[in-house]
Amino acid sequence: MKGWIALGLLAVAAWGKDTPKFSLADTAGVAHTDAEWKGAEVVLFFITTDCPISNGYVPEMNRIAKDYALRGVRFYGVMTDTTVPAADVRKHVKDFAYTFPVLFDPTQILVKYTNADTNPETAVIAPHGGMTYLGRIDNKVEGFGAQRPQATQHDLRDAISATLAGRPVAKAVTTPIGCSIVRVN
């Protein structure tokens, strides 16, 4: 269902659009701007502190980041819940051992840019700008309370590889399973 909704929203999502101008701090206090995305493939992991599905995917997020970082792909977590105190987010990032920067996004500029609506959800931004993928990490989680022992489809890895190769992503939109992102006004 989400795939059809996302396809209908192409005009308002980030497909083909340049990245927005931003400066967002990560949990270590380092400022990150849109300028560091120029010429690089970027992967955004939309996360929150209290979603068990999102938390369960942290090891796989770290593995993907490790596997593709040497190829120049940049990875960022984006904290979607603007109501969680910064100290709690920092503790969460430390406790779960994220290996990439996790950004505070108080106005949800990246959530709005990509039209992400689920934790965890991923977006791939091409080196030339514009989103090439929005959706799940893989198909390990089949539904709430139902998961496979191992993923059989690796949607995010496939999207990253296709974008790196300059090929269209075969499945540009997939439906993530997780906790809803609560939008701020």
Domain interval for residue 53: 2-180
- Per-residue CA distances from 65 to 71, 101, 116, 162, 172 (Å): 10, 11, 20, 16, 19
61 lies in some domain: yes
Let me know: does 124 contact 85? Beta carbons within 8 Å: no
42 lies in some domain: yes
112 lies in some domain: yes
Mean pLDDT of 65-88: 97
Of the listed ranges 15-29, 85-99, 119-133, the least confidently predicted one is 15-29
19 lies in some domain: yes
Please state, in angstroms and rounded to a whole number, the distance separating the CA atoms of residues 118 and 131. Answer: 17
> CA 122 from chain center: how many Å?
3
Q: pTM score, two decimals?
A: 0.90
DSSP 125-146: E-TTSSEEEEE-S-SSEEETTE
Please state, in angstroms and rounded to a whole number, the distance separating the CA atoms of residues 16 and 130. Answer: 4
169 lies in some domain: yes
Please state, in angstroms and rounded to a whole number, the distance separating the CA atoms of residues 45 and 136. Answer: 10
185 lies in some domain: no
Burial class (CB in 10 A: 0-12, 13-18, 19+), 166: exposed
The total of structural domains in the chain comes to 1
**CATH code for the domain of 85:** 3.40.30.10
Q: What percent of the chain has pLDDT over 70?
A: 91
pLDDT of residue 185: 77
CA 101-104-110 angle, to 5 degrees, is 95
65 lies in some domain: yes
pLDDT tens-digit series, residues 80-113:
999 999 999 999 999 999 999 999 999 999 999 9
pLDDT band at residue 17 using 50, 70 and 90 as cut-offs? low
Coil, strand, or helix at residue 112?
A: helix
